[in-house]
A and B are shown apart, each in its own frame.
Chain A
Amino acid sequence: MVKGILKGMFVVLKHSRRKPVTVEYPEKEIPWHTKRFRGRVILNLDTCIGCSLCSQICPNESDHMVYFDYDNGKNKRKIYPAVNIGTCTYCGLCQAICPTGSIRLSNDMTLASFEKDFDYLPDRLSRTEEELKHHD
């Protein structure tokens, strides 16, 4: 009458011999590949041509074009994307549609900072979080 119950308990007891699978996160690194991980949006100011396709395709209007005075020879109207990383859904459509590959999603997932403003203008968007922390 209790054979099934005992078999279940035996399976549970067998697991106590296996090692735990928890990774104690900030002290130890995550042991699998995160090359394609979709983290924060990052912009390469030198190759952006200002076609505004990324702001048209963004589903919830987090990406909008603003005027920014930086001359890289290809961008005649001098408009660059500015992204609100608070409302961004990290979907990667802007990365998929960009014809020159200037806007892409980096591996950055540690986004906590002391700034209250989530709307990143193009110069802030072109630096990673590490550089932003050391710069301020």
Chain B
Amino acid sequence: MIYSILQLINFILTYIGISYSQYLPPYGALFQRLIVDTIGALLIFIAASLTIVVVIYIFRKWMADLQQRIGPNRVGPYGTLQLIADALKMFGKEDIIPDNVDPILFRFAPYLVFIPLIMSYLLIPYGTIYHWAIIFTNVNVTLLLIIAFSAIPPIGEIIAGFASNNKFSLIGALRAAAQDLSYEIPMMISLIGVIMLTGSLNLNTISQYQWHYIPIAILEPIGFLVFFVAVLSKMAVVPFDLPESESELVSGFNVEYSGLRFGIFYLGVFGSIFFGSLFISTVYLGGGSDLPFLPGFGYIWLLIKAFIFTFLFLTIWVSLPRIRVDKYMNFGWKYLLPLSLINLLWTMVLLLFIHGVL
């Protein structure tokens, strides 16, 4: 039997005795549903934050390893409690708001960047452990929802850069707008190839398809590469970290943010790194689905694939220089876009071949 997490929470609540579905139907069932969904969302919020903390720890230790030094190793055994010390320090800082900023937009912008990211963690199918499927949403359009949620953080960055009364952050905000516009289109066109092959927008179906046949990365290598570069650009790491170029614009759009507000931007960067690796391993490598001869371990395969991509992204961050703005847009419009259109043609040929016409 396959249970989902929401069914599990429902089961626990009934077992304890808190169950409203028999009172005053249909309002009781709706109320029950509301409680179950809220508990599920809180669980994912805590789990996502803990995951981001683990990713930051891995980043600091891996970067130190590549540079022949030791990372954090004083706070806690092998430095594991370092991030908690940093978070406590950020909580205790004074909240400095500069003079002539726009009062509502300045305070509101960090949440616009962070909350859609956490909401996107709800939509990914995490695979199975024994008979239990860790799935939070099962609507038919999760891929579309993820694309919609990933379009909101650049708006947050532009608002943050514009509302701080500072010329450096204004330049950073303009660069964020240029970056968002140029690389979303190749990403979506390569995703169209995936949708045409699998025939649905549901991430669950896409990962199950790859269990039955072969991973889509092998069927569509060009699309995989284009999607890889586009996701790398969405995460704002070097070589594509234009809105936040640290050595040129002194932190770009988040110059005027300090303390906990800066902490939220910082968590957003690492959250999007891990989310990007989860996304690419679900859509192109079949993350979360079991191997046919070894059922029951889907979650572990997803974690392995996501961590391999995370290490790859972090290595790219540490070793490459930054691209200039106009060369960046050049690359996006003149190279990535035609490549993604060629990928679309290739997918059409593949489909005709699969359905036996060729």
Q: How distant is the Cα of A17 from the Cα of B66 in the complex, in angstroms? A: 8
Q: How distant is the Cα of A120 from the Cα of B318 in the complex, in angstroms? A: 49
Cβ-defined contact, A22 with B320, below 8 A: no
Say if the beta carbon of A134 comes within 8 Å of chain B.
no
Say if the beta carbon of B22 comes within 8 Å of chain A.
no
Say if the beta carbon of B140 comes within 8 Å of chain A.
no
Q: How distant is the Cα of A9 from the Cα of B239 in the complex, in angstroms? A: 13
Which B residues fall within an 8 A CB radius of A?
A: 64-70, 73, 315-316, 318-320
Cβ-defined contact, A13 with B68, below 8 A: no
Query: Which residue of chain A has the shortest Cβ distance to B319 in the bound complex?
Result: A12
Beyond A9-B315, A12-B315, A13-B315, whether A21 also contacts B68 by CB under 8 A is: yes
Say if the beta carbon of A100 comes within 8 Å of chain B.
no
Q: How distant is the Cα of A22 from the Cα of B73 in the complex, in angstroms? A: 12
Cβ-defined contact, B68 with A15, below 8 A: yes
Q: A10-22 interface mask toward B, CB cutoff 8 Å, 1 = contact, 0 = none?
A: 0011011011111
Which A residues fall within an 8 A CB radius of B?
A: 5, 8-9, 12-13, 15-16, 18-22, 24
Beyond A12-B315, A13-B315, whether A5 also contacts B320 by CB under 8 A is: yes
Cβ-defined contact, A22 with B315, below 8 A: no
- B68 is contacted by which of A5, A20, A24 (Cβ under 8 Å)? A20
21 A-B interface contacts by CB (under 8 A)? A8-B319, A8-B320, A9-B319, A12-B315, A12-B318, A12-B319, A13-B66, A15-B66, A15-B68, A16-B65, A16-B66, A19-B68, A20-B64, A20-B65, A20-B68, A20-B69, A21-B69, A22-B69, A22-B70, A24-B70, A24-B73
Cβ-defined contact, A20 with B70, below 8 A: yes
A16: B residues at CB distance < 8 A? 65-66
A21: B residues at CB distance < 8 A? 68-69
Q: How distant is the Cα of A18 from the Cα of B315 in the complex, in angstroms? A: 16
Query: Which residue of chain A has the shortest Cβ distance to B62 in the bound complex?
Result: A16
B68: A residues at CB distance < 8 A? 15, 18-21
A5: B residues at CB distance < 8 A? 320
Q: How distant is the Cα of A24 from the Cα of B68 in the complex, in angstroms? A: 14
In whole Å, how far is B336's beta carbon from the nearest beta carbon of chain A?
13
Q: How distant is the Cα of A22 from the Cα of B315 in the complex, in angstroms? A: 21
In whole Å, how far is A88's beta carbon from the nearest beta carbon of chain B?
32
B66: A residues at CB distance < 8 A? 12-13, 15-16
Beyond A20-B70, A22-B70, whether A9 also contacts B320 by CB under 8 A is: yes
Q: Which of B64, B67, B319 has the most CB of A within 10 A?
A: B319
A19: B residues at CB distance < 8 A? 68
Query: Which residue of chain A has the shortest Cβ distance to B225 in the bound complex?
Result: A2
A12: B residues at CB distance < 8 A? 66, 315, 318-319
Q: How distant is the Cα of A20 from the Cα of B315 in the complex, in angstroms? A: 18
